[in-house]
Chains A and B, each alone.
Chain A
């Protein structure tokens, strides 16, 4: 009986102690849980980013507090306090995770902004540079065209303005040189081709498979004579001027006759006439190595020999101009 009373007293003491434990020791799990929960609640990052996790922790802490107030078994209170502490820690980690995720999202946005900014700057720069070269090339083009027109006009004027025309062309080349390199080269090539064509047009040159061909008609020679008449000389002078300008070009002079008279005589006459044109060009300063002269007699007629008009067309001297490489296809 004495033993039984002792047991009862011990139980009562335990119950009383449990009932009094609303203020647990400062290092008890419940006290730690309360402190940690208060810290977490004071942290704005946790309250804003892990509100629901913090609420779970709060519920668990309430349970632990109630168990402690009701004087439940120490193991029960400690267990509930432990769970509450872990949930506070979960709330803290959740807040850290979300903050880092927000930082990543912000950083991605920032990175996109930086990239966009860079691309915009590059595009702007490219645009500016394109516009600038466009303006430059347009200006150069205009100036080149103006000079070109001027130069062509001067050249068409007359032989005595040749020097002036050359100066104009030089001015044109200078202006063109300031344009973009590629553009300039094309322009120059085109300009030269146009000039050449216009000059040859003045000489009534015809384009053939072998090159540009200038035909000197029979009116430039007296019948059966090989000496050039003054009218012929004028045309030859134009040719000479042309060849002085284009020293890389060669020429072939070919004489032809109609079928009247003996073959031998015609061959001789055509050769002589071709040669007198050659001599005239040599006199005007065209290098001898550039000129070839030949007579073909009545071969290669340009028209029929049965009419007077056809025969007149056949009596002729043809001057074929080589390309820039100095080549002429053989007949």
Chain B
């Protein structure tokens, strides 16, 4: 397979791209210790908000990504670890929110039912 562009200019831009790719792949990134801690606490919050019960998919995804992030940390793949940890944090926050919104909606429907019953009772009493 030959270079389909072939000109010098394209060779230069290719080289720049190569350098960028090398920089991105380079392991000189510091370990995302802070992000790991933030994500762990987001998962803990989600669990205590009832995430496992109300948003099991997101909860499982967060925990799985957190495990993978820990393994990446062990292998000093810090960029990968940071991304996984960030996604785990997003998953955990979503799970927490889903639990909270489900609970709030349940409370709202209970209250509505209360009012309906109360009204019915009032109407019966005044009749």
A residues in contact (CB < 8 Å) with B: 5-6, 8-9, 11-15, 71-73, 75-76, 79, 82-83, 86-87, 89-90, 93-94, 96-98, 100-101, 103-104, 107-108, 110-111, 114-115, 117-118, 121-122
- Does B86 lie within 8 Å of A108, measured CB to CB? no
> In this assembly, does B26 line the interface, its C-beta being within 8 Å of a C-beta of chain A?
no
Residue pairs across A and B with Cβ atoms less than 8 A apart, 22 shown, are A12-B10, A12-B13, A14-B17, A15-B21, A76-B83, A82-B90, A83-B87, A86-B90, A86-B94, A89-B94, A93-B97, A96-B104, A100-B101, A100-B107, A100-B108, A101-B108, A104-B111, A107-B111, A108-B111, A111-B111, A114-B119, A118-B118
Residue ID in chain B nearest A100 by CB atoms: B104
A86 near B87: Cβ-Cβ < 8 Å: yes
Q: Is B125 an interface residue (CB 8 A)?
A: yes
Residue of B whose beta carbon sits closest to that of A89: B94
- Contacting residues, chain A, for B3 (C-beta < 8 A): 5, 8-9, 12
Select from chain A the residue with minimum beta-carbon distance to B18.
A11
Which residues of chain A come closer than 8 Å to B53, judged between CB atoms? none
A83 touches B90 (CB 8 A): yes
Contact of A72 with B24 at beta-carbon distance under 8 Å, contacts A12-B17, A110-B115 already known:
yes
A90 near B97: Cβ-Cβ < 8 Å = yes
Contact, CB under 8 Å: A97 / B111: no
A6 to chain B: which residues have CB within 8 Å? Answer: 1
8 A Cβ contacts from B38-78 to A: none
**Secondary structure of the B contact surface, majority rule:** helix
Check if B10 sits within 8 Å of A76, measured CB to CB: no
What is the interface residue range for chain B against chain A?
A: 35 or more
Interface of A is mostly: helix
Cβ–Cβ contact B122 & A117, under 8 A: yes
A122 to B126, CA, bound (A): 8
- Interface 1/0 per residue, B90-101 and A, CB below 8 Å: 110110011011
Q: How far is the CB of B66 from chain A (nearest CB, A)?
A: 14
The CA of A190 and the CA of B20, in the complex, are separated in Å by 114
